[in-house]
Structure 1
Amino acid sequence: MTQEIAMLHDMSRCTACRGCMVACKQWHDLPPDMDTPFEGQYQSHKDLSSRVYTLIQMKERVDDKGKFHWDFFKKNCFHCGNPACAAGCPANAIDRNPNGTVVINEDKCIGCHYCEHNCPWHIPKIDEVRHKSTKCDLCYDRIAHGYETTGEILKPSCAKTCTSHALEFGTIEEMKQLAVERLAMIQEKHPDANIYSPEGVGGTHMIYVLPEKPAVFGLPENPVTPLSIDLWKAGRAFTKLAIGGAAAGIAGAIVLSKIVKSRAKAQAKEQEKG
């Protein structure tokens, strides 16, 4: 499937039921977190992990007028148009597919943590037992299976189970348009509402409608692919070029040497005949 897809996250509609978390665990056959202690908060986990690919974060705050607010955010991979995780992977273990999904190839992954460090949101997490990087894959296998068998897009498990329509799924054009419509519906009540799909990372295929500024949800407002990635890639390219140039030079010298020796032998024979 080459059509670009996307998921809309309308956080103004999220009820924090965590059905998306359960559906994600079930689809990916992830083990339960029996060792996660209760710390007096409704949020189930501190952060994403190799056993938690999507997490409903619950943030408590009091505004300038003394009014209490409970803000919900669904944290998972953003599936960037220009993913820093893929660009910084020395093993080329992360692929950005034509449909926009960013997927880790575990057979190639060496567990180096570079993807986690380079991601502006530090989304990927290493499974310390298998030494493999893990994250949301946007249920790319479900999408591919549905398209190949019926010709229709099969929704990712989290979007399929969402009852409040906070999660919607379709083509990227459809989701961008829906984001604009949803934003218009809440702007009167939430004047700071915005669409979050940062251009600094090439836009994202996880598009968010946030009722408040990104900072309220702990998000960087204008994340970008780290400059160190570009410098590193340029360095790798130069190294390959230098090595290639050196190899070509050596090969050329060997060929030239053989030609010179061949001509010298031919001249020697001619002199003997003369």
Structure 2
Amino acid sequence: MSEERVGFFTDTSVCIGCKACEVACKEWNALPEDGLSLTGMSYDNTQALGASSWRHVAFIEQAAPQGRTRLPLIEADSAKGTADPGPSGAESSTEMRWLMSSDVCKHCTHAACLDVCPTGSLFRTEFGTVVVQEDICNGCGYCVPACPYGVIEQRPHDGRAFKCTLCYDRLGAGQEPACAKACPTESIRFGPLDELRERAALRVDELHEAGVDGARLYGHDPEDGVGGDGAFFLLLDRPEVYGLPPDPVVTTRDLPAMWKHAAGAALSLLGGVAAAFALTGRRRR
């Protein structure tokens, strides 16, 4: 890489679910619409990342944790903080909260999609990001199951794979990605990856001091199963609550060792064959 590696830090504690990032991403990258129908999934009409949704704002509605200081809660009755008594006459707590998070391709340090692509359509840019060249993609689909996050998807009309490019064209022009530019609360931070990791660690400490003990980082550790993500997150609950794998592992991480073992086995086999021929020759003489 000729440039400093850059990426995203998404602080979900300040995400308001406005979807400005989704709209900006679609507008800048001229992505087709794919989420206008009502789904019954709260306000999450996009539902998941896909070939035409490179940003996805998740809405997770859950009961507020009890006995610990948390972020402001959504209450069913603003005056009382409790709901009306049920049929039994007993009052039940209806304190709820929304966890909101803008998901995106993680631009993994060890990207399995790169390893399995047979055409070179997927490549690592000078900024450390991973991009699909749609004019080279042959629609084989190998990258889809290789991604540990389930990010990449093929478009049904031609089978080609698409995902977030981290606005590669904007980076080349010295601009920040469209989603980060549009975020009104700075939930999506863009910049040099090392600086973002330092900033994220400070933010977690700040939240812990404020009593938000569920705050944690996800995808920031260079020693994890994908070598650290180029797009990592501050979460307020367990990763699986947000639909993220708790311990993602790059599916091709064992390929070098496998090829080494295969080469050793092949050499052993050739040695055995050569020895057999030599022994047969001596017997004939």
**Judging changes above 3 Å, is the alpha-carbon distance between structure 1 residues 27 and 232 closer, same or farther for their aligned structure 2 residues?**
farther
Which residue in the other structure is 2:23 paired with? 22
Q: Secondary structure at the match of 1:22?
A: helix
Unmatched 5+ residue regions in structure 2?
67-92, 271-285
In the alignment, does 2:177 pair up with 1:156?
A: yes
Alpha-carbon distance in structure 2 between the residues aligned to 1:195 and 1:19: 23
Which segment drifts farther, 160-169 or 55-64?
Answer: 55-64
Greater helix content: 1
Question: Which residue in the other structure is 1:207 paired with?
Answer: 232
Structure 1 Cα separation of the partners of residues 35 and 191 of structure 2: 35
Tell me, yes or no, if the aligned pair for 2:109 and 2:227 is still in contact at 8 Å: yes
Paired residue secondary structure (2:32): coil
Match of 1:167 in 2: 188
Letter in 2 for 1:217: Y
Match of 1:59 in 2: 60
* Structure 1 position 116, deviation (Å): 1.5
Q: Distance in 2 between matches of 1:82 and 1:133?
A: 19
Q: Cα offset for 1:166?
A: 0.6
Structure 1 residue 136: Cα displacement: 0.6
After superposition, the C-alpha distances for 1:225-259 in whole angstroms (9 at most, x for unaligned) are: 12587279839x96xx99xx9xxxxxxxxxxxxxx
For the 8 Å contact 1:45–1:55, the answer to whether it is kept is: yes
Larger Rg: 1
RMSD, aligned α-carbons: 2.5
Aligned counterparts, 1:1-274, within 5 A: 2-33=3-34, 36-39=37-40, 41-63=42-64, 65=66, 67-146=95-174, 154-187=175-208, 188-197=210-219, 198=221, 199-226=224-251, 230=255, 234=259
Q: Indicate how the Cα distance of structure 1 residues 40 and 59 shifts in structure 2: closer, same or farther if over 3 A, else same.
A: closer
Q: For 2:15, give the aligned amino acid.
A: C
For residues 14-46 of structure 1, the C-alpha deviation after alignment (integer angstroms, 9 at most, x for no partner) is 000000000000000112237634436211222
CA distance in 2 between counterparts of 1:56 and 1:232 reads 38
Identity of aligned residues (%): 30
The question of whether the paired residues in 2 share the 8 Å contact of 1:186 and 1:211 is answered with: no
Partner Cα distance (2:65, 2:235) in 1: 19
- Which consecutive segments of 4 or more residues in structure 1 shift more than 4 A? none
TM-score by length of 1: 0.77
